Amino acid sequence: GAVVSQHPSWVICKSGTSVKIECRSLDFQATTMFWYRQFPKQSLMLMATSNEGSKATYEQGVEKDKFLINHASLTLSTLTVTSAHPEDSSFYICSARDYNGNTEAFFGQGTRLTVV
Amino acid sequence: RKEVEQDPGPFNVPEGATVAFNCTYSNSASQSFFWYRQDCRKEPKLLMSVYSSGNEDGRFTAQLNRASQYISLLIRDSKLSDSATYLCVVKTPGAGSYQLTFGKGTKLSVIP
């Protein structure tokens, strides 16, 4: 199946700093990538849809100025958590879909962010 | 009513047992349905798609009832390695594309 690589897998940062998470599709072109957040014992919640070459579409309640998304190429999308606070600590997962007839989503390995 | 609802469990079953998970969805326009498996602190991975006629993959059987908006997953002869959280996922058309909605998941622990 298609491979999506996410980096870093975990990060600890100080409150007030910014953290960048990368999501790459390794063997297919992904015009659209998705960013999710998952708190403990909760479901994956879609944060935003990242479209190559255009602005991301954010879900209701997600601050676009806090969670900056850049999708500069067909294989790379980045999520930057700006001025992180402890309440931003969560598991962030990206996914990309292969539009060659497949409907399943391929997920990155996830990034566990801890803000101290 | 939540968009995708699952019994959170946990389900604690002995090896070799048969266990069934249920899921209901609220949007009747939903088109496709999946079961994903998520291990602790890992990303979800596709277990199987769910078809209207029902489908089986080894020890796993998935069924869909569109009229009742209900999906199920049956695991026979449980193995220790089946311990994980099982996510019910529903694909729903949206503006120009589609969206996947995830249930909270049902946790399964298979005990020796």
3-state secondary structure A72-103: EECCEEEEEECCCCHHHCEEEEEEEECCCCCC
pLDDT band at A42 (very low <50, low <70, confident <90, very high): confident
Query: Which amino acid belongs to residue A73?
Result: S
Cβ-defined contact of B91 to A103 (cutoff 8 Å): yes
Q: Cβ contact (<8 Å) for B102 and A44?
A: yes
Q: Which of A6-15, A82-91, B76-85, B96-105 has the lowest mean pLDDT?
A: B96-105
CA gap B92, B32 in Å, rounded? 7
Res A62 pLDDT > 90: yes
What pLDDT sits at residue B8?
A: 84
Q: Is A104 on the interface with B (CB under 8 A)?
A: yes
Kindly state the DSSP code that residue A26 receives in the 8-state scheme: S
Q: Which of B43, B91, B97, B100 to mutate to test the interface with A (most CBs of A within 10 A)?
A: B43
Are A41 and B4 within 8 A, CB to CB? Answer: no
A63 has pLDDT over 70: yes
Residue A64: what are its φ and ψ, rounded to 5°? -70, -25
B43 touches chain A (CB under 8 A): yes
Cross-chain CB nearest to B41 (options A32, A108, A112): A112
Question: Is B43 in Cβ contact with A104 (below 8 Å)?
Answer: no
| Cβ-Cβ contacts under 8 Å, A60 against chain B | none
Q: Stretch B76-89: mean pLDDT, rounded?
A: 96
Question: pLDDT-based confidence at A30, cuts 50/70/90?
Answer: confident
Which positions 68-97 of A are in contact with B (Cβ < 8 Å)? 91, 93
Amino acid at site A56: A
Comparing A25-34, A63-72, A102-111, B8-17, which segment has the lowest mean pLDDT? A102-111
Residue B99 touches chain A, beta carbons under 8 Å? yes
Q: pLDDT grade, residue A101 (50/70/90)?
A: very low
Angle A30-A38-B23 from CA coordinates, rounded to 5°: 90
With 70 as the cut, is the pLDDT of residue A102 above it?
no
| Interchain CB distance below 8 Å, B45 and A107 | yes
Please check whether residue B49 touches A, CB under 8 A: yes
